[in-house]
Amino acid sequence: MDAIELINLSKHFEDTIAVREVNFNVSQGEFFGLLGPNGAGKTTLINMLVGLATPTSGTANVSGKDIVKNYREVHSQIGLAPGEENFDREFDVFDNLVHHAGYFGIPEEGAKRKAEKYLKMFDLWEKKDVKPFQLSQGMSKKLLLARAMMTDPSILVLDEPTAGLDVTAKRETRNHIGTLNREGLTVILTTHQLEEAEELCERVAIIDEGEILAIGSPKELVEEGKSDTVKIKLERKIDSLPDVITRSEYQTSLGNGGRELRVIAPDGGRAAVDMIHMLHENGVKAKSVDIEKADLKDVFTRLTEA
């Protein structure tokens, strides 16, 4: 049974279609990324999953249970760490977790044991008596994770969990999330940091204007839409490219005042060899070659800016 199954899921707000007939499945224990520009529909999709928004049409199942018909049961299975801090400023760190657990019917003694467990797991135990607003940004992000784990969920939903953190805090947070996933927790990650998605996610879905544009492993998406960039510096300036180059299978252009040939190609290495040969045949020598390999950012940009 899949952890999450979306079937033609849609959400309309008056005249706006925020999510349009989305279909995908997330396997148990999978690390899945949801990528898209601002306003793409990511947050609306997540809100439907966690019960903060009701679908206009379509179906979403969590562990085989409909998210609308079985709201309470589904809600307790999903731990949400939102992008923005929303702690109760009146309570200290420890009591924030205990009170959160109470909303899910967890008895106080059990909640206290869980609070201790997760504060220690995320290296926050020494901060248990301080108010959340006194924490650093990195600690606040970890507290959001700890709170999301208080129901012992089977699915963890993370909205920009490392946004605004320094390099060390990002690494620590990613390590914590990775450990939870390796222990069997299904993780849904939304992020604008594509290198983070490429590092952590087994599969990603790219969404824009409420529609899924592509889905697959980062490697698969890069291979499918690969377009390396080749920059060949020339030994002398030229005013125009030889016809044999402009008529080639590659996208070519002159740059740097006529002193650089730029090529967009699926295979940068092969394109570089072909271009150098064509230049040589037309009396132009290459000074140096630089190949920028395609990555997930290239795929994301091509799809969302099309």
Percent of the chain, pLDDT > 90?
79
Same domain membership, residue 209 and residue 247: no
DSSP 175-226: HHHHHHHHTT-EEEEE-S-HHHHHHH-SEEEEEETTEEEEEE-HHHHHHHT-
Stated as kind and residue range, the H or E segment containing 137 is helix 137-148
Confidence of residue 223 (pLDDT cuts 50, 70, 90): confident
Question: Are residues 231 and 219 part of one domain?
Answer: no
Q: 197 and 216: one domain?
A: yes
Indicate the residue among 202, 223, 244 that finishes a domain.
Answer: 223
- pLDDT tens-digit profile of 1-16? 899 999 999 999 988 9
Would you state the structure tokens that stand for residue 248, as one six-digit string?
A: 């080639």
| C-alpha–C-alpha distance, residues 209 and 194, integer Å | 19
Domain with 253, as residue range(s), is 225-304
At which of 223, 238, 260 does a domain end?
A: 223
d(CA 285, CA 302): 32
**Mean pLDDT value of segment 241-253:** 93
Higher pLDDT, 305 or 130: 130
Q: 306 falls in which pLDDT band (50, 70, 90)?
A: low
Mean pLDDT over the full length of the chain: 93
82 in the same domain as 199: yes
Mean pLDDT of 219-244: 89
Q: What is the pLDDT of residue 286?
A: 95
| In a shared domain, residues 74 and 125 | yes
Please indicate, yes or no, whether residues 229 and 198 belong to a single structural domain of this protein: no
Q: For residue 4, how far is the Cα from the chain centroid? A: 17
Do 231 and 279 lie in one domain? The reply is: yes
Average pLDDT over residues 22-50: 94
Mean pLDDT of 51-69: 93
Does pLDDT of 284 surpass 90? yes
Nearest to 79 by CA among 36, 112, 46: 46
Please report, for the domain that includes residue 279, its CATH number: 3.30.70
Instruction: Kindly state whether residues 245 and 201 are assigned to the same domain.
Output: no
Q: Give the pLDDT band of residue 305 (cuts 50, 70, 90).
A: confident
Total domain count, the chain? 2
Query: Do 149 and 97 touch, CB atoms closer than 8 A?
Result: no
- Average of per-residue pLDDT across 98-109: 94
- Say which range, 55-64, 68-77, 143-152, has the weakest mean pLDDT: 68-77
Find, among 168, 183, 117, 167, the residue nearest to 146 by Cα.
Answer: 117
Whether 282 and 149 share a structural domain: no
> Are 214 and 108 members of one domain?
yes
Percent of the chain with pLDDT over 70: 99
Of 227 and 90, the structure prediction assigns the larger pLDDT to 90
pLDDT-derived band at 283 (thresholds 50, 70, 90) equals: very high
From residue 155, alpha-carbon distances to 77, 181, 186, 214 in Å are 6, 9, 5, 23
Mean pLDDT of the region 276-287: 95
Q: State the amino acid at position 20 in one-letter form.
A: R
DSSP state of 90: T
Q: Which of 159, 190, 223 is the last residue of a domain?
A: 223
pTM: 0.82
The CATH number of residue 108's host domain is: 3.40.50.300
45 and 69 part of one domain: yes
**139 and 249 co-located in one domain:** no
27 vs 294, which has greater pLDDT?
Answer: 27
Question: Which residues lie closer than 8 Å to 64 by C-beta, 6 or more apart?
Answer: 1, 5
